[in-house]
Amino acid sequence: MIRTAALALTALLSACATITAQPPEEAASELTTVPFFPQEAYQCGPAALATLLVHSGVAITPEALVPQVYLPGRGGSLQVELLAATRRSGRIPFTLQGGPEALFRELEAGNPVLVLQNLGREWLPRWHYAVVIGYQPEGQRVLLRSGTERRRLERWNRFSASWAHADYWGLVIPRPGEIPASGHADNLARELAGQERLLEPALVAATWDAARERWPEDPNLLFAAANAHRVNADTEGAAQLYYTLLMQSPQHIPARNNFADLLLQAGCPVSAERLIAPARHATTVLSSPIADAVRQTAADIARQRAQVTYDPDYCRALTQDPTLP
Amino acid sequence: MLTSRLLVLLQITAFLVASTVGTAQAAIIGTAEHLTDQNRNVQLAQISATLANDTVQQHLLDMGVSPEDTLARINALSDAELQQLAQQLDTLPAGSGALGVLGALFLVLLVLELIGVTNVFSKL
């Protein structure tokens, strides 16, 4: 009875929804290997998150996620806490950038998408997490793992209206070393940079590498990958990346600075000095945190120059500079 | 009870130490720092990290999260997420499920209305 009534209500609410998205012309898809965890009372957050995590290769249950994401005082789970819990499971959360269009790119690539829906109205919101696992073009229906339904079919118009009321918020959790199929380099870079200090250095480096493979020309991704490899104690890999970036854009002062610092720490003060010299002249036009870092690096080089023992062959290899004395 | 409090105190101390030690090496320019530097105008008003941390911690405790879980949950948040929680924790959407208590009540009223048992809405 309640169930039928619920359907009636949802239908009624959707009927007066203001957003009427055109049903998309997309190929049929269904990610049948995505697991299903029926939700316990109010706990669609842990259930939906476990669905994505297990699909990405993590061994976890919704019960184990309850103390990580459930907020008793709100009777539900917040979006940012789903992101935080993803990190605690050793995976990187990426929010979906680009609404329905991006959703279909992810399905095409085999990635289920966790979505936030508002099943109520703006003045009486009912927030719900579900996982989109496919689409049926005939009848225009979205396939969901939702609540207690393993395979829920929802009309596209109804689904997209409820999703639009939650600002098209979606979450993708790729397997380690992979990145979402949708989205732009800038968004991905900002999102990964904002959380990398909370993640395993090796995972972070591998993920920047994946981004670099997709957008080889992007200087921010090269810079980020170089920094990440250095944090992951891969001095040679980092040096190679800084070198590539500086060949491509010699004006990249942060790369020049960080490469110089790397060389100094690696025992190559002469190479470090050669690199930082052009940057020092630019300190007057740079914003202050960057200029401060350049001055600091230059001062470190001047101070430590005499103290380090110097292996010219190693330094020539790191800088790819045969003219080094 | 006493041991769990001691444990929390220890964890707080460990967290504070860890978060201050991590800021050394000013000579290196971090990726996030560089990206923010490129987008100076999009930076939002922020409260101090310590204040944000304390605020969120209190919020989570008030909402029934255990002290141990609270710390672990806060430690997994990025700076931006911590800021967001500190400023809007009460208003952010909390996904709960397809049917809530309020909704059920509203629904019963609506169904009764539709089948003509009551006349609550039509006289408005």
pLDDT tens-place string over residues B10-58: 555 554 444 444 344 568 899 988 887 776 544 556 778 889 999 999 9
* DSSP class per residue in A113-132: EEEEEE-S-SSS--EEEEEE
Same domain, A10 and A159: yes
- Same domain, yes or no: B84 and B98: no
Question: Which candidate from B31, B69, B98 shows the least CB-CB separation from A119?
Answer: B98
In a domain, A26, yes or no: yes
Q: State how far the Cα of A6 lies from the Cα of A132, in Å rounded to an integer.
A: 21
Interior angle at CA A73, CA B81 and CA B109, nearest 5: 115
Greatest mean pLDDT among A32-41, A155-164, B94-103? A155-164
Q: Which residues contact A200 (CB under 8 A, 6 or more apart)?
A: A90
| pLDDT-above-70 percentage for chain A | 91
Q: What is the pLDDT of residues A178-235, one digit of tens each?
A: 999 999 999 999 999 999 999 999 999 999 999 999 999 999 999 999 999 999 999 9
Domain containing B64 equals 2-88
Overall domain count for chain A:
2
- Chain A residue nearest residue B67, CA to CA: A67
Residue type, B48: S
CATH code of A21's domain: 3.90.70.10
Q: Say yes or no for a CB contact (<8 Å) between B110 and A75.
A: no
Query: A159 and A255 share a domain?
Result: no
Query: Which pLDDT band holds residue A145 (cuts at 50, 70, 90)?
Result: very high
Residue A78 clears pLDDT 70, i.e. is over it:
yes
List, in sequence order, every residue forming a beta bridge with B44; answer none if it has no partner: none
How does pLDDT run across B66-86, given as a tens digit for each residue? 999 999 999 999 999 999 999
Q: Are residues B81 and B60 in the same domain?
A: yes
Q: Do B27 and A296 touch (CB under 8 A)?
A: yes
Going by C-beta distance under 8 Å and a sequence separation of 6 or more, which residues neighbour residue B54?
A: none
Closest CA to A259 of A303, A173, A320, A183: A320
Greatest mean pLDDT among A88-97, A313-322, B94-103? A88-97
The distance of A23 to chain B (nearest Cα, Å) reads 23
Q: How far is B21 from chain A (nearest CA, A)?
A: 13
**Is the same domain home to B81 and B119?**
no
Q: Are residues A36 and A141 in the same domain?
A: yes
Straight-line distance from the first to the last Cα atom of chain B, in angstroms, rounded to the nearest whole number: 55
Q: Which two tokens stand for residue A262?
A: 């790397």
Q: Would you tell me how many other CB atoms lie within 10 Å of the CB of residue A316?
A: 16
The secondary structure of residue B95, as a DSSP letter, is: E
Look at residue A323 in the predicted model and tell me its pLDDT: 73
Mean pLDDT of A84-98: 98
Q: Do B58 and B101 fall into the same domain?
A: no
- Residues A155-166, mean pLDDT to the nearest whole number: 96
pLDDT of A17 above 90: no
Q: Residues A91, A126: one domain?
A: yes
- Of A172, A197, A226, the one marking the end of a domain is A172
In a domain, A179, yes or no: no
Residue pLDDT, tens place only, B55-69 = 999 999 999 999 999
Judge contact between A139 and A159, C-beta under 8 A.
no
Indicate if B61 and B116 belong to the same structural domain.
no
Cα distances (Å, whole numbers) of residue A234 to A75, A197, A231, A262, A303: 45, 17, 7, 11, 25
A74, A88, A152, A209, best to mutate vs chain B, most B CBs in 10 Å = A74
Put simply, the answer to whether A289 touches B33 (Cβ < 8 Å) is: yes
Q: Are residues B74 and B120 in the same domain?
A: no
Please say whether the beta carbons of A183 and A94 come within 8 A.
yes
Of the listed ranges A69-78, A150-159, A247-256, A316-325, the least confidently predicted one is: A316-325
* B66 and B116 assigned to the same domain: no
Residue in B26, B81, B93 closest to A127 by CB: B93
A134 and A197 belong to one structural domain: no
Q: Are residues B76 and B104 in the same domain?
A: no
Examine the domain organization and report whether A125 and A210 are in the same domain: no
Does B124 or B104 have the greater pLDDT score?
B104
Asked if B13 and B36 sit in the same domain, the reply is yes
Helix, strand and coil content of chain B, in percent to the nearest 5, comes to 65, 0, 35
Please report the pLDDT score of residue B47 as a whole number. 78
Residues A164 and A270 grouped into a single domain: no
Best residue in B75, B99, B112 for a mutation probing chain A (most A CBs within 10 Å): B99
**A146 and A193 both lie in a single domain:** no
Whether pLDDT at B108 is above 80? no
Residue A305 has pLDDT above 50, yes or no: yes
Clarify whether residues A209 and A159 are in a common domain: no
Share of chain A above pLDDT 90, in %: 77
Domain membership flag for residue A133: yes
Tell me what pLDDT residue A263 has: 95
Domain membership of residue A308 (yes or no) is yes
Q: Which of A120, A141, A172 is the last residue of a domain?
A: A172
User: In this complex, do B29 and A190 lie within 8 Å of one another by their Cβ atoms?
Assistant: no
If asked whether residues A109 and A82 sit together in one domain, one would say yes
Task: Assess whether B25 and B58 both reside in one domain.
Answer: yes
**Is the pLDDT at B119 greater than 70, yes or no?**
no
Cα-based distances in Å from A69 to A46, A72, A191, A313 = 7, 10, 20, 52
CB contact under 8 A, A166 and B93: yes
Is there a contact between B81 and A39 if contact means CB atoms under 8 Å apart? no
Q: Which residues in A lie closer than 8 A to residue B26 (C-beta atoms)?
A: 292-293, 296
Here the CATH number for the domain that contains residue A212 is 1.25.40.10
On whether both B83 and B100 belong to a single domain, the answer is: no
Candidates A35, A36, A39, A93; CA nearest to A66 is A39
Residue B109 has pLDDT above 80, yes or no: no
Chain A residues in contact with B111 by the CB 8 A cut-off are: 5, 8
Q: Cα(A124)–Cα(A73) distance, rounded to whole angstroms? A: 18
Same domain, A155 and A259: no
Across the interface, which of A81, A85, A227 has its CB nearest the CB of B31?
A: A227
Classify the C-alpha dihedral B90-B93-B96-B98 as positive or negative.
positive
pLDDT at A134 over 50: yes
The mean pLDDT of A269-279, rounded to a whole number, is 90
Give exposure, A189-210, as e/b (b: 16+ Cβ within 10 Å): bbbbbbbbebbebbbbbbbbbb
> Does residue A13 sit within a domain?
yes
Total domains in chain B come to 2
Contact A258 B93 (CB under 8 A): no
Neighboring chain A residues of B91 at a CB cutoff of 8 Å: none
Please tell me the total number of residues recorded for chain B in this structure: 124
**The domain containing residue A159 runs over which residues?**
2-172
What is the DSSP track for B8-49? HHHHHHHHHHHHHHTT--TTSPPHHHHHHHHTGGGPPP---H
pLDDT confidence bin for B124, thresholds 50/70/90:
very low
| B24 and B76 in a common domain | yes
pLDDT in tens, A110-127: 999 999 999 998 888 999
A261: CB partners within 8 A, 6+ apart: A272, A297, A300, B27, B28
Q: Can you say whether the dihedral through the CA atoms of A210, A57, A52, B71 is positive or negative?
A: negative
Q: Please, are residues A205 and A228 in contact by the beta-carbon 8 Å criterion?
A: yes
Q: Which amino acid is at A273?
A: E
- State whether the Cα torsion A231-B56-A74-B43 is positive or negative: negative
Alpha carbon A255 to chain centroid distance? 22
Sign of CA dihedral A62, A67, A69, A71: positive
pTM of the model: 0.82
- Chain B contact set for A289 (CB, 8 A): 29, 33, 37
pLDDT for the residue numbered A155: 96
Contact between B97 and A228 using a beta-carbon 8 Å cutoff: no
Q: Which residues of A touch B66 (CB under 8 A)?
A: 67
In this prediction, residues A243-264 reach a mean pLDDT of 94
Q: What distance in Å separates residue A143's CA from the closest CA in chain B?
A: 16
**B27 closest CB neighbour out of A48, A193, A261:** A261
Per-residue tokens: A90:
């050793």
Check whether residue A226 and residue A205 sit in a common domain. Answer: yes
Give the best residue of B25, B35, B42, B96 to mutate against chain A (max A CB count within 10 A). Answer: B96
Q: Bigger pLDDT: A284 or A138?
A: A138
Cα separation, A81 vs B96, whole angstroms: 13
pLDDT band with cut points at 50, 70 and 90 for residue B6: low
Q: Which sign does the torsion angle of CA A61, A63, A64, A65 carry?
A: positive
Report the pLDDT value the prediction gives residue A123, as an integer from 0 to 100. Answer: 87
Token pair for A292: 């401060």
**CB-based contacts of B22, cutoff 8 Å, min separation 6:** A197
Q: Which of A172, A201, A219 is the last residue of a domain?
A: A172
Least CB–CB distance from A254: residue in B29, B60, B103: B29
